[in-house]
Each structure stands twice: as structure tokens, then as C-alpha cells.
Structure 1
Amino acid sequence: MDMSIPGLRVLREVAERGTFTAAAHALGYTQSGISRQVAALEKAAHTRLFDRVPGGVVLTPAGSRLLPHAARVLDEMDAVERTLRGPTRTESVIRLGMFFSAGTVLVPRALAALSRNRPDIAVTTREGSSPALIRAIRAGSLDAAIVTSRPPHRPLDSESPSLSVTTITEVTLMVAVAASGPLGDRESATRAELMDQRWIVAPSRTEEPLLGAWPSLPGRPHVAHVARDWMTKSGLVAAGLGVTTVASNMADALPAGVRLLRVADGPAESRRIVLAHRTDDVDPAIGAMIDTLRTTAA
């Protein structure tokens, strides 16, 4: 087989991104360039590597078997590049993915502590939705990812082998309101009272529900603003323009003029923050990062 390094890189990127267009954007290729690389790789492999599905592509069984080998080859090429650059003080590099808003409080504090206690470990990060981060782990472009899990806490994906999942912490959901607003002097509110509020929600995504309106409101919420960025949402709340659902561990990141309320009725709402990585990944640096994340979360 005559498989090129660029072809293997395209295989990994398409497997992670789920579309030729997204892979082209990530690699700086044209879409036709991605198609040519995939065609050349399939010719070398003597088999089809991707199947088209609504909204993108998925690996065929042959593509799934090839992917881990491609990831190892690309990791080795990265190691060669680091060797040629010369020795550095850093012994371990962890490529860490994180869900949106994890970089507001938890991850910066944990990585600062890890840097102080383990200067031999370097961590690079990138944000993404939980499904995209899980695909990136399987594609080999991330070593681990901090993602969220909601009850009943099913497996993160249906692929085999299953990923190793370690619970970092469990957080309760609360409602952020303006201190100067009608609910600002309260410790809690009922779902009926929250139905009358203007809600600030995250953009709707087909692959992953994001925080926004309270999950068990008894009717359709009045959505006034749509924003993914936590700073934007909290700024809108502080200005008295609406309320939004947040995790309790975000309390330290609240701007002045914002309070958190409990929801007094209905089912308790919580989310689990977990760290996922491949089951064959026994790097002690991952273990050190897990310990630091747990300590920071506590």
C-alpha cells in the first residue's frame, strides 16, 4: 500500500469533523482537494473508507480499522518533528478538549495548578461540542476531553471499544437572574414563575442540547436572546435583559449584579463533568491531570 502522510491526515480530519467541507476548512484545503486525497487513499487501500449519510460522512468498517493505525503514524511523525527541533524541558504534552464554558473557571484553575506541580507536563486545549470532542479522541487528534453527561448518563458514543470515562465532579443547575430584577431578592423561584421570564439560551444544535431555558419548564419558554458565549449570556443577565440556566460551579465567574436561584419545584437537574480518553491510553500525565481537575473542582 502506498498511503501518503497527507492522505492519512485527511482521513483523520474527515473522521473527526464528519464532513469534507469541515475537514477542508480545518486543513486549509479546498473541498475538491479533500476529495482527491480520499480517493487516492481509497485506491491505495483497495476499499471504500467513507459512506455518505445525511449531513456528512461516516467511516466504513474498513475506515474504522485504518483510523487507529493512521493516528499512530501521524503521532510518530509529530514526535519526529519535535525531535528535530531539539530537546525541550517538557516531557509530556496532553492535547485536551473541553466543552463550551469549561474554560471559564475549571480548566484555567486546574491547568495553572498542574503547571505549578508538574512543570514537565504541557497541555494544549480547544473547545468543542461533546460529540465533536469524542470524535477527535477516536481520530487521535485529542488525547482526552472534558465533556458533560446528563442523567441517565449513557455511554458517550456507540463506537467500540468504549472510551475510559472518569467523573471529575457533579454540578447542580441553577438560574442566573439580575440582582436588580423582580427575582433578584429571592433565594428560589418556581417553574411557573420562571415561565414568565425572558430567557437567554444557547444556539440549538442537533448533535448536543446546550444550556438555556430550564429543562423542565411546564411550557414553551419566551426566548429573548440566543448566545453561546458565557460572557455574553451573563452580560445580558446583568443588564436585566433575561435569565438563563447555569451550572452551580460557575458562581465564581458571575459578573456583578447577577445572582443564582434554586428552582423550588420539579425534578432536580444536574450535570456530570467527566474526562474521557481512549482505554489503551495509560499515560501517567493523564492521571496527573485527572487528579488536578478533581482537586480543583472540589
Structure 2
Amino acid sequence: MDVMDFGDVSLVALRVFREVAERGTLTAAAAALGYTQSAVSRQIASLERVAGTPVLERRPDGVRLTAAGTIVLRRAIAVLGEIDAAGRELAGLPADAGTVRLGWFPSAGAVLVPRAVAELRRTHPAVTVVTREGTTPVLVRALRAGTIDLAVLGSVPPFRPPDAETPALRLETLAERSLRVAVPAGHPLAGAGPVDVADLRGQRWIAGPSAGEGTLMGVWPGLDERPEIAHTARDWLAKLNLVAAGCGLTTLPASLAEAVPAGVRVVEVRGGPSERRRVVLARLPGPVSEPVALLSGVLRRAAAG
């Protein structure tokens, strides 16, 4: 695709393409934009006609960027960024040079993200942090679509990269903690010492499906029995409040122990394979702006604390 061809692409098509790249499906992009799915399909088709090659690979579970699509997306992000900056300047609004966009997986909002944002507000009040919560697949697509600058992700063994796209994301482990179990304060396992993994057999669990997987998040991994799921919930705080109400047990990283509600005790588990969880900071490779560097630094300090 040459420069003349790219000049024939409409801004609408570029915005639609960026939304599809971030959302992962034409249906989700259409809903986010307020378009019909056929309108989104037409915009993608117009982009592919100009490119002379497919920019998306259609799959049963959604879409994936082709090699050409990756190139077009990178250029589209730059073009749309310049257009948006020009619009702000013409409207007399301040530039976004002091803004950093952060995505985070749900449990990072309990302690890590608020602590880091509060520190940055104290030390660099001119920097604005805009945050959004999301699952790992959603946040990774947002990074690649250029709609967020940094993402705080959760990672489980064997700690693979969050996607296989190129260029590879820059990943930095902020913290690695053991997995623990939250039990009601009046539960027999709520004593002061660690519990053995065998003590978890026959318990009732509060769990929810992880994004895009069949794994139950909230059940101790590797139990040698089919777990009894008493309640299902995606939100970690909902799970912990159900624990406080005596409805069952759930798992959580040790880093969340200070955020549990009253009526919950967090216990260490011994026996069986070591269960670890990582908090990872992800971004696209390349130079970063000063606000992004500043936020990365306070996230490191907050995770270490």
C-alpha cells in the first residue's frame, strides 16, 4: 500500500478499524460506536480495498490483525492522534501532553492503582491519569490499538506473554506473591496458622470464570476433587463479601490481604505445588513520554510497598 492509496482512506474508516482492533469483534466495535455491524463491515471493506490486502483475519471467536493490518493500525493511531490534537488546539483546549492512560485488571483496583495514582497526584499534580478496568485480552488489544499507554495485568503460571503478536509487548514484573485462601472469620480454618491443602477438600467455593477460559477463578488450583461451587461472581469484592457472609471460600493473591472486608480471614496454604501470581506492567516497545515514565515509577514503588 503506497502513500497515495492511504490518502484515500476516510477518517471514519480509520476510527472504525481502531475500534475493531481494540474490541476484538465487529459486533463489539459496532456496539461501542453506535453503528450497525453492516456499517462497520463496510468501513473495514473500504479500508481493505485501498490497502489492496486484508487487514483482518476473520475467526470464529472474533478477528485478528494481519501483518498488513498491524502496519495500518500503527499509522492509523498516529494519524488519529494528530487529528485529535488539532481539534483540541482549534477549540482552545490544553494539549494532552500531561495525560497518561492506564488500564488495569480488576483486583489491581483494590490497592495498587489507587495507591499509585494518589502518589502521582501528590508528587506531580500536573500529570493527569485516566484509568479503565478490563480483562487481560481487552487491555492488550487496547495497548495495541493505542487507546491506553500502560496496562497492569495479572499473570498465572507458566507466566506466558499475554499475546503472540509482534512487536512483543514490553513486560515488567511489578510483584510476585503467593496465592492464599479467604475464609469466613468463624470458619474452622480461620485460625492463626497455615492450613494444609488437604484441608481444602470438601469445602464450598465462591468462583467465577476467567476471561476467555474455562478455568474457575476462586477455586484452589489442583484440587483432587470436583469442587462444589456455591456461588459464582466475577467481581473480587463480591466474592469476598460472600465469604464474609459465610457462604464459602475463595482464593486471592497475598497482595490483597489488606483490602479484605471485615469478617474475612486470609490464610496461607501449604502442601502441593507452590501457587504464585504476578502483577505485570505492559506497554508497547519504544520511547515513552514523561507522564508514562512517571506513572511507571510510582506503580513500581506502590507494588514494592
> TM class by shorter-chain length?
over 0.9
Query: Which of 75, 79, 82 matches 2:81?
Result: 75
Report the CA distance between 1:245 and its aligned residue.
0.3
SS of 2:106's equivalent in the other structure is coil
How many angstroms does 1:246 deviate by?
0.4
Please list, as runs of the form range in 1=range in 2, the aligned pairs for 1:1-298 lying within 5 A after superposition. Answer: 1=5, 2-88=8-94, 91-207=97-213, 209=215, 211-297=217-303, 298=305
In the alignment, the residues of structure 2 paired with residue 87 and residue 65 of structure 1 have an alpha-carbon distance, to the nearest angstrom, of 31
* Partner amino acid, structure 2, of 1:254: V
Q: Which runs of 5+ in 2 are unaligned?
A: none
2:181–2:249 CA contact under 8 A, matched in 1: yes
The 1:66/1:164 distance shift into structure 2, 3 A limit, reads same
Letter of the 1:115 counterpart: R
Write the deviation string for residues 190-229 of structure 1: whole angstroms up to 9, x where unpaired.
2222121110112243358563101122222111111011
What is the CA deviation profile of residues 56-92 of structure 1, one whole-angstrom value per residue up to 9, with x for unaligned ones?
1212222122110011111112222332333549742
Deviations 1:83-109 (CA, angstroms, capped at 9, x unpaired): 233354974211111111211211011
254-263 or 119-128, which moves further after superposition?
119-128
Give the TM-score taking structure 1 as reference length: 0.94
Question: Which SS does the other structure have where 1:169 is aligned?
Answer: strand
Partner of 1:101: helix, strand, or coil?
helix
Q: Secondary structure at the match of 1:183?
A: coil
Counterpart contact for 1:89–1:120, Cα < 8 Å: no
Distance 2:193 2:51 in 1: 63
Deviation, structure 1 residue 154: 2.2
Deviates more, 1:206-215 or 1:31-40: 206-215
Root-mean-square deviation (Å): 1.8
In the alignment, the residues of structure 1 paired with residue 127 and residue 294 of structure 2 have an alpha-carbon distance, to the nearest angstrom, of 9
Classify the secondary structure of the residue corresponding to 2:129: strand
Maintained 8 Å contact 1:176/1:243: yes
1:129 touches 1:208 (CA, 8 Å); kept in 2?
no
Residue 258 of structure 1, CA deviation? 0.3
- Say if 1:90 and 1:119, in contact at 8 Å, map to a contact too: no
Q: In 2 relative to 1, CA 93–207 (structure 1 residues): closer, same or farther, beyond 3 Å?
A: farther
Separation in 1, partners of 2:215, 2:115 = 26
Paired letter, 1:83 = E
Does structure 2 retain, via aligned residues, the 8 Å contact 1:150–1:272? yes
Aligned length: 298
Q: Which runs of 4+ in 1 moved over 6 A?
A: none
Q: How far 1:155 sits from its partner (Å)?
A: 2.2
Q: 1:89 to 1:38 in 2, by over 3 A?
A: closer
Q: Is the 8 A contact 2:210 2:217 kept in 1?
A: no
> Post-superposition shift, 1:285?
1.8
